[in-house]
């Protein structure tokens, strides 16, 4: 499986998008991390692009 990290902007905030082919286990694992959010606009999981949050 390939996971791609993308620099994006969401609601005027720099984010790192996490793109991957659908995988239920990976999706459920990502949802356990407080910093990981879902963007309906980009249709992608993401984290803030901040050293403090990573």
Task: Write the DSSP string, 1-54.
Answer: --EEEEEEEETTEEEEEEEES--HHHHHHHTTSTT-EEETTTTEEEEES-TTT-
Considering the chain, what percentage of its residues have pLDDT values greater than 90?
80
Q: Which residues contact 32 (CB under 8 A, 6 or more apart)?
A: none
**Residue 21: what pLDDT?**
95
Given a contact cutoff of 8 angstroms between Cβ atoms, the answer to whether 30 and 45 are in contact is yes
How far apart, in whole angstroms, are the C-alpha atoms of residue 48 and residue 7? 10
At residue 8, does pLDDT exceed 60? yes
């Amino acid at each position: 499986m390939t996971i791609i990290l993308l620099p994006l902007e969401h609601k005027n905030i720099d984010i790192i998008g996490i793109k991957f082919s659908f995988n239920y286990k990976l999706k459920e694992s990502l949802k356990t991390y407080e910093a990981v959010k879902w963007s309906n606009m980009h249709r992608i999981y993401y984290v803030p692009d901040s050293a403090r949050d990573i």
